[in-house]
Chains A and B, each alone.
Chain A
Amino acid sequence: MTVQDGLTIGVVVGLAVALVALTLAERRWPTTLRRVAAFEALDAAIERAVEAGERVHLSLGTGSLIGSDCAPALAGATALAKIAEATAMSDRPVVASAGDGALAVLAQDALRGAYARTGAKDHYRATTGRMLGPTPFSYAAALPVILSSEKVSVHLLTGSFGAEGALAAEMGERQKAYVLAGSDQVQTQALFFTTAEHTLVGEEVFVTGAYLQGSGMQRASLRLQDGLRLALAAAIVIGTLLRTLGVGL
């Protein structure tokens, strides 16, 4: 084992220990979540959809489950489970879609688990977790059908999207739905800023679960993220100063 291997193990174990410690500290010093207008409006939009007998649609994106772009879809699946629990008693339970077969299976599993936890197993239908199209633009082309036929009034995009994400968000706007869109791709975030009513910027796509009455660890992880960001920013500033002063690194 090399020194680099040891350092890598140290960083991973250190982060895990810090996350567990922050989770334990959550009972005594609970994390105060920053106000995000999009999430405040999301709660109200979901309530309205349930009362009006309309449906929430959540997209896990056009990425894959086994690629490097799976993280936002995993965070999206956690949010999906939370929303399914919240809308389990609605006449029109949440519907999820993805551009990848494995992500569609993941969505079905998240929905099945959520309904089982809320005692509404009979609300689960395999067709509420769908693969719409195997390529990014075929996925976008199939979206209007699901939005209109399922009476969708809350359209959430939390996954990995490319340029097709702009079309996906725009279709929700045309349906006059509440649209909340986030992606791990920076270019797509810019497209969402233009096309979606509410945009998740930067790492906000990973925190949807925490804002939807998330677990202690989800809330604690926000603190860890903030701490790491500050440490990185400090390292960049110190490195720049040292370099400017001619100190070799």
Chain B
Amino acid sequence: MRSGLHYLWTALAILFGVLVLSGYVLAVPSLQSIRSLLMQWAVVLSAAALLLGLVNMLSVHWNKVGAQEKGWPYSALLLLSLLGTFILGLVFGPDSAILTALFNDIQQPVEASLVALLAITLTVAGFRLVARRRNAASVVFAVSALIVLLGTGPWLIGGDGSWFLTMGELRAWWSQVWAAGAARGLLLGVALGATVTGLRVLLGSDRPYGD
């Protein structure tokens, strides 16, 4: 059952949405300063929401450790790391050498290894795509990937022969004419979709913020 408050939330969402949109599209200084102020509030609220998200994460993993669910040692490790980093940040400051070292020596290498994993994942997924979805779109996708690989990686077929130069020209034609044209079409669709979604929120039809 809804409380009457949802009318208030909807009215506030519409009001602030219209104010921010007006500040972006109209060259009126007062509207622009209101938009700037509202965006500053949004940034502060977003930072507070990050803290809420961390508390939420803590409670999920705390419950997992408490219930000794499968994989609980990983949750315990996450809790210790999170609390340890948080305390170090409070004591030494976010720009301290120790926190920078933690970021550069642990966080960055782990994320870089995930990027490396991405290359293998995509290769395997590419083979799976051709095996599983044998339709025209998959064939075009696979042929395009092959053209780009052959036209970009000279080590495969020799970097100075006429074959490589031809493949390079084919790759450029394929990516700059066909792929870029298709990507622009998709981008237009995405822009229209985002605009219409924004309109629905502004008109109070979509209320993703709940009731």
Residues of A near any B CB (own CB < 8 A): 1-2, 4-5, 8-9, 12, 15-16, 19-20, 23, 64-66, 71-72, 74-75, 77-78, 81, 98, 100-102, 104-106, 109-110, 112-114, 116-117, 119, 126-127, 129-132, 134-135, 137-138, 140-141, 145, 148-149, 163-164, 166-167, 170, 173, 184, 186, 189-191, 193-195, 201-207, 209, 215, 217-218, 221, 224-225, 228-229, 232
Contacts and interface: CB of A to CB of B under 8 A. Distances in A.
Contacts of B198: 71, 74
Given A141-B110, A217-B205, A71 B194 contact: yes
Contact of B193 (A100, A191, A206): A206
Interface string B177-211: 00000010111111011111111111101111111
A104 B53 contact: yes
Interface of B: 1-2, 21, 25-28, 39, 42-43, 45-46, 48-54, 56-57, 59-60, 63-64, 69-71, 74, 107, 110-111, 114-115, 117-118, 121-122, 125-126, 129, 137, 141, 183, 185-190, 192-203, 205-211
Contact of B43 (A66, A148, A193, A225): A66
B53 A131 contact: yes
| Secondary structure of the B contact surface, majority rule | helix
B122 A141 contact: no
Contact of B203 (A19, A106, A114, A184): A19
Contacts of A189: 186
A130 B2 contact: no
A206 B202 contact: no
B2 A75 contact: no
